[in-house]
Structure 1
Amino acid sequence: MTARGLIFAAPASGTGKTLVTAGLARHLRRRGWRVATAKAGPDFIDPTFHALAAGKPCRNLDVWGMRRATLAGLIGELEAHADFVLCEGVMGLFDGTGPGAEAGSTAELALMTGWPVVLVVDARGQGASVAALLKGFAGHRPSVPLAAVIFNRVSGNRHAALLADATARHLPSLVCLGSLPADPGLALPSRHLGLVPASENRDAEAVIEHCAARIGTSVDVERLLRVALGSTLSAAGKAAPLAPLGERIAVARDEAFCFAYPTLLEGWRSQGAEVTFFSPLANEPPGADADAVYLPGGYPELWPDRLASAQVFMTGIRRAASEGAAIYGECGGYMVLGEALIVGEGQICPMAGLLPLVTSFAERRLCLGYRRATLRVDTNLGAAG
């Protein structure tokens, strides 16, 4: 069987598409299907739930940040080991890199892959008016393969029937796959960067199992699987991993540094690099023989005092830098390489001091989004320019 895929999108963030994707992955896995999962864009948190549900790493597919050949290679790898690939979209279906831009959006990924889109709609407080919303999404960019809808947070059978009738009357080509009820057991806690990662949510496994069971009784899974299609991109290229930072790479890994993409680490290993892990929160230094240190993103702002007092870690990373090791920090890791982290009502927590910068959470001025950068000198990340 050739693997087939679906993209689960939504009109906006917060509709429940993460849990629907994870719940369906678990449901299909329980039925014996081989399931692979993916996430549109760079988000690291949502894939932690998909990885838990599917029992293997989730892959990020970023049409803004990845070359087409890299995307094609990743999709080919997903399809080679699965019967179905379930990809969660990012934000709203047409939300892209900026005002008026759809680049990087879920819609762009759907057009590139050919995977049909299943819209997950939060139906709270809506009845027949949902048809106007669906018609708007279907007509906004007709080339996007919008194929089906799942209603979420539905108040009861009458509400579900009303939504299905509105869909059938006004968009007969759009398949209504069912309705998931408003259920306190189908909820995941959030914080400032999105959902709390699955590794920190002791109820994540139970919630995914509960959602999988709900999907089995409330969604027409057989019809959903018939909607899925193979990707038109998978045979077009091969994934090209980034060159390793060094031959022996020490990677920070704990609750403060947890945003390391599996694809990145696997790519380094595939090119012969040795990857080891250490925990700054446990006051561990990078390995003495490491010629590169990688501090990925995460939540250092939740552990500022503990990091500031981790002098074995701080001394170790300064030593590595003084001895010529490549030091690379991104997101939270970049903050920790700076001089200080300001949190709460202005509490100043000293950091590694390897970069002339201070990060403040007391006065928030910037927002999440894509950025372009130009290398001014040759580095382990690439050539200048």
Structure 2
Amino acid sequence: MSAAPASVSVPARSAFVLAAPSSGSGKTTAAALLCLALRASGLSVQPFKLGPDYLDPTHLGRAAGRPARNLDSFLLPPERVEALFARAAGTADVSVVEGVMGLYDGLDPTSDEHSTAALARQLGLRVVLLLDAGGMARTAAAVAAGLRDFGAGVDLAGVILNRVGGEGHARLCEAALAEVGLPLLGFIPDDPALHLPERHLGLLAAEEAAWDEAAALQAARFLRLDALLAATRLPALAPAAPLQFPEPRARIAYAWDAAFSFYYPDALDELRLAGAELLPFSPLHDAGLPENVGGLLLGGGYPELYADQLSRNVSMRRAVRDFAAAGRPVIGECGGLMYLGQSLLDLEGAEHEMCGVIPARTRMQPRLSLGYREAAALHASPLAPAGAVLRGHEFHYSERLDPPSHPAYRWTTAAGEVVEEGRAQGKVLASYLHLHLGADPALARRLVEACC
């Protein structure tokens, strides 16, 4: 097989969805490798991730040199999925959309609603299938053809093979794929240096997991980038100008360090479009909050890994508590809820004092709570009025040790259990629910207005 050229030419914008038969096929590694190789070829690359994931996008963003955007068809209404895709894709030569789970896996085994296939159909994008070819040759064609033919309206552009033993192995698979009319768009060698390390919430963030870009580009030489781009052109995709933000009318500080980093880039952009100036601060390292801010945003992350350090930063905990006591808006999501509580118990049973803004003690436990939620707001908050129905996502290994008082949300599980969760009182909102402010610009406008 010939190596990829040092540079590629693209006559029109290109975009594609990278999908696989299942989770664990190497989609994130392959998507990051494609972003890196396309960028090294002189193209501007916009990465996207299907689903609510905060960690995979960091690897795509590092490889592409610009933030990856989340496209989640449950958290975002259809028109917002399309608008956010067009807004970012229109500023790049090529867009790489990493799918989630298997190609047809969504919320329901009898439907592909909210699946990678559904997103590809909605956006009119061709699918590039990533196949883990370890231990197979002719069977690769059977799997690829089965996935191509299973779902109506899924347009397969070709196949990239992952974890390939060498060029000879790739030629065997290519011959089989040719029999079913599917082109091979390259392969990725089976190289341990490309593997991305994991921990309890998923992959390590790109900032913590070094990737040898020289080794990655060496592996990328077997990708057929010209053929990939030619097969995934989107000549109808209109160019878009970079976002223009208005003059700020409110200053909002958001926690940003190793303990807190779970934010959707489009959600932060919605706040800026609504008139916010966003100021990062570190609950781990800073002695106090930025000056003259009107609100605090404490996103998710890994406070449990830094509980002792967060606890020892007494001046910051006091500053957050005093800010909330002064009646200013404070939003805590998941890890932010844990930090706003009274204490956090780690897996060893040690208890660490937190900010004490809300009457909540949390502890780490081995069971994962996860899933999409459609929640009704029980009380007014800086984000939404009472009665508003919001879509969010839970993903956490911690739990509250006390029943919630003045709960923020109520939802019903698939098993029929009614859950009341979080806390919304005054201008403090704390919840395990991750929201996407890009779903409805009114959410960002309401928060910015509260912070003025």
| Letter of the 1:227 counterpart | A
Please list, as runs of the form range in 1=range in 2, the aligned pairs for 1:310-349 lying within 5 A after superposition: 310-349=313-352
Instruction: Give the deviation of 1:98 after TM superposition.
Output: 5.1
Instruction: Give the deviation of 1:322 after TM superposition.
Output: 0.7
What is the rounded CA distance, in whole Å, between the counterparts of 2:13 and 2:116 in structure 1?
20
Of the candidates 364, 367, 376, which is equivalent to residue 365 of structure 1?
367
Matched, 1:193 2:201: yes
Please list, as runs of the form range in 1=range in 2, the aligned pairs for 1:1-385 lying within 5 A after superposition: 2-97=12-107, 99-169=109-179, 171-172=180-181, 174-201=182-209, 203-204=210-211, 206=212, 208-216=213-221, 218-230=222-234, 247-287=250-290, 289-361=292-364, 363-385=365-387
Instruction: Give the deviation of 1:288 after TM superposition.
Output: 5.0
Instruction: Give the deviation of 1:168 after TM superposition.
Output: 1.9
What is the rounded CA distance, in whole Å, between the counterparts of 1:360 and 1:120 in structure 2?
39
Tell me the percent identity: 39
CA pair 16-92 structure 1, distance change in 2 beyond 3 A: same
What is the rounded CA distance, in whole Å, between the counterparts of 1:301 and 1:98 in structure 2?
33
Residues 347, 363 of structure 2: 8 Å contact kept = no
What is the rounded CA distance, in whole Å, between the counterparts of 1:365 and 1:339 in structure 2?
22
Q: Equivalent residue for 2:433?
A: none
| Letter of the 1:44 counterpart | Y
| Letter of the 2:367 counterpart | R
| Letter of the 1:24 counterpart | L
What is the rounded CA distance, in whole Å, between the counterparts of 2:358 and 2:147 in structure 1?
46
What is the rounded CA distance, in whole Å, between the counterparts of 1:368 and 1:76 in structure 2?
29
For 2:351, what is the secondary structure of its paired residue?
A: strand
What is the rounded CA distance, in whole Å, between the counterparts of 2:132 and 2:377 in structure 1?
43
Residues 5, 231 of structure 1: 8 Å contact kept = no
List per-residue Cα deviations over 1:293-352 (Å, max 9, x = no partner): 100111111111111222112111111111111111112112222233222232222222
Residues 90, 237 of structure 2: 8 Å contact kept = no
Of Structure 1 and Structure 2, the greater strand share is in: 2
Moved more, 330-339 or 280-289: 280-289
Instruction: Give the deviation of 1:2 after TM superposition.
Output: 4.4
For 1:317, what is the secondary structure of its paired residue?
A: helix
Give the paired residue count: 371
TM-score, normalisation: structure 1: 0.89
What is the rounded CA distance, in whole Å, between the counterparts of 2:144 and 2:38 in structure 1?
27
Moved more, 315-324 or 187-196: 187-196
Instruction: Give the deviation of 1:283 after TM superposition.
Output: 4.4
Q: Equivalent residue for 2:405?
A: none
| Letter of the 2:192 counterpart | P
Q: Which runs of 5+ in 1 are unaligned?
A: none
CA pair 360-232 structure 1, distance change in 2 beyond 3 A: farther
Residues 283, 311 of structure 1: 8 Å contact kept = no
Instruction: Give the deviation of 1:374 after TM superposition.
Output: 1.1
| Letter of the 1:130 counterpart | A
CA pair 91-285 structure 1, distance change in 2 beyond 3 A: farther
Residues 251, 286 of structure 1: 8 Å contact kept = no
Instruction: Give the deviation of 1:231 after TM superposition.
Output: 8.6
Q: Which runs of 5+ in 2 are unaligned?
A: 1-10, 388-452
TM-score, normalisation: structure 2: 0.76
Residues 114, 232 of structure 1: 8 Å contact kept = no
What is the rounded CA distance, in whole Å, between the counterparts of 1:370 and 1:44 in structure 2?
15
List per-residue Cα deviations over 1:174-233 (Å, max 9, x = no partner): 2221222111222211111221111112x22x2x443233223x1221111111132989
Instruction: Give the deviation of 1:99 after TM superposition.
Output: 4.9
Aligned CA-pair RMSD: 2.4
CA pair 348-19 structure 1, distance change in 2 beyond 3 A: same
